[in-house]
A and B are shown apart, each in its own frame.
Chain A
Amino acid sequence: MQVSRRIVLHFPASLTGQPIVYRLARDYGLEFNIIKASVSPEEEGLMVLEVRGDEQGVEAGMKYLSEKGVMIEPFSQRVVLREERCIHCGLCVGLCPVGAFRMEPDTYYIRFEEERCLACGLCIKACPPRAMEVGL
């Protein structure tokens, strides 16, 4: 059965130089669309993909990625900040792979810049007061 899945891949720095996505096509017969990507040398990479293929191939491809050390998460369209839950700690600042959070230099309040956000969702469970959530 053919399936299609939208996923977010977090690549550790050690893998960003390797042709991992290419192998999804070659070894597992998967088609993919890159929706968004942000990979820079020596840093963590982030890629939002739509993967299509037969169910077994998709499962095997995902297993291959996990074994390689790639973190896989389902893609959510939009991540939003619930201001009333935020305690302005700033744990998200160092974690966000695209720098969508910043600590204001004078007041130290945390600001979320949604236009920079790739909706990878890493902050959702990492936020201690759970102030980040999938938006509609």
Chain B
Amino acid sequence: MRTIAEINEKIRKGQAVVVTAEEVIEVVRSKGIERAAREIDVVTTGTFGPMCSSGVFLNLGHSKPRIKLGGGTAYLNGVPAYTGLAAVDVYLGATALPDDDPRNHDHPGDFAYGGGHVIEELVAGKEVHFVGTAYGTDCYPRRRIETTIRLQEINEATLFNPRNAYQNYNVAVNLSDRTIYTYMGVLKPRLGNANYCSAGQLSPLLNDPHYEAIGIGTRIFLGGGIGYIAWWGTQHNPSVPRKDGLPKRPAGTLAVIGDLKGMSPEWLRGVSMWGYGVSLAVGIGVPIPILSEEILRYTAVSDDEIFAPVVDYSRAYPEREPEVLGEVSYAELRSGRIRVMGKEVPTGALSSYAKAGEIAQVLKGWIQRGEFFLTEAVAPIPGEEAGISFKPLDEKGGH
């Protein structure tokens, strides 16, 4: 039908036809698949929600005299970063907490500040307090350093998120008699509310369910700047049950990478999950090149065709029981009420549909203005045929 090189030529000439994954639904309804596939070059997707497996590699630069943080410690605004790397490379994870944070000592804990918030402040250009300690060597004699850093003053700041952009997700409810505080938000007792976390019809991997149009090396919108799909994400599980190709359970994931210096605090936001911990809300937008009618047909998926499992987070989830209370569509979820076990339950979302739509529009604008070109994938993301199984951790006896 068309190649990525041909699409890029049209982008260069300002002639590419780009629509969002929301707009494409109406285009396909009115024009039909065949005609729409002839006309549309790219469909843009978006998602913006808490993604805990996120973090940033920082190279802080060498002090005089030098210090080797590897094997020592590094704290940014009081939040510990991982130092098990070369002298001044550290990795600051989104869920890291200050050593003196009370955590859930007084349950439910507040979790006001952590790694995700430091990343937001770095990307906002704010001054961040840095304390490092080391054991000292002949070549790196220094034992302690305390100073401030800013994003633009350090060498590299590479956002590298091992698992983002989940393809579908659970709807969390609470069947117990007490309020519970989870990574899916506060859940009131006896089906008091239901929380979901996907942009549904706008979500990247729900628009390319078999990973045919995107792959490793695909250039994307990441945190307001440019990023790439680096690999498939951790816990990537394409083998879940599907209906019309669409996974009915949490399935594929993406590992993504990009230069933090080009990103924006509007699209990387530190978040606090009451009683659970801290995280980072990440904005991601993936362009889907329309290389075939089949690829376009999948981008035209709408919320009433995508189903998510309802899971009890008071027992089934923590006990790793496979029990699912039912399946509901994203159209039902976004209506504000779903029915679970005969009861009407109000819904809330962790993933911002409005912001996902904004991301798809921003990416569309970049492509239309010739500021963003598509890349060929250099290797595929494993699909159902790869036979990946989702492995549990079962404890072995005798230890």
Interface string of B214-228 (1 = CB under 8 A from A): 000000000000000
Is B49 within 8 A of A89, CB to CB? yes
Q: How many residues of A contact B (CB 8 A)?
A: 27
Q: Which residues of the other chain, A, contact B108 by a CB distance below 8 angstroms?
A: 125
From A44, A91, A93, A108, B188 is in contact (CB under 8 Å) with: A44
The answer to whether the Cβ of A4 comes within 8 Å of any Cβ in the partner chain is: no
Is B195 within 8 A of A91, CB to CB? yes
Q: Which residues of the other chain, A, contact B193 by a CB distance below 8 angstroms?
A: 94-95
Docked Cα-Cα span, A58 to B203, in Å, equals 51
The answer to whether the Cβ of A72 comes within 8 Å of any Cβ in the partner chain is: no
Is B334 within 8 A of A103, CB to CB? yes
- Beyond A89-B351, A95-B193, is A103–B49 a contact (Cβ under 8 Å)? no
Is A108 within 8 A of B357, CB to CB? yes
Docked Cα-Cα span, A12 to B177, in Å, equals 8
- Stretch from A17-25, A26-34, A48-56, A126-134 that touches the partner: A126-134
Is A110 within 8 A of B354, CB to CB? yes
The answer to whether the Cβ of A88 comes within 8 Å of any Cβ in the partner chain is: yes
The answer to whether the Cβ of A14 comes within 8 Å of any Cβ in the partner chain is: yes
B185, closest chain A residue (CB):
A91
Is A109 within 8 A of B354, CB to CB? yes
Docked Cα-Cα span, A28 to B50, in Å, equals 45
Is B185 within 8 A of A93, CB to CB? no
Interface string of B234-254 (1 = CB under 8 A from A): 000000000000000000000
The answer to whether the Cβ of B125 comes within 8 Å of any Cβ in the partner chain is: no
The answer to whether the Cβ of A117 comes within 8 Å of any Cβ in the partner chain is: no
Of the A-B pairs whose beta carbons lie under 8 Å apart in the complex, a sample of 27, sorted by A's number, is: A12-B178, A12-B192, A13-B189, A14-B190, A44-B192, A69-B189, A87-B281, A88-B352, A89-B49, A90-B352, A91-B350, A93-B346, A93-B347, A94-B336, A94-B346, A95-B186, A95-B188, A95-B193, A103-B349, A126-B186, A126-B274, A128-B50, A128-B185, A129-B270, A129-B281, A130-B112, A130-B272
Chain A residues packing against B (C-beta within 8 Å): 12-14, 44, 69, 71, 87-95, 102-103, 107-110, 122, 125-126, 128-130
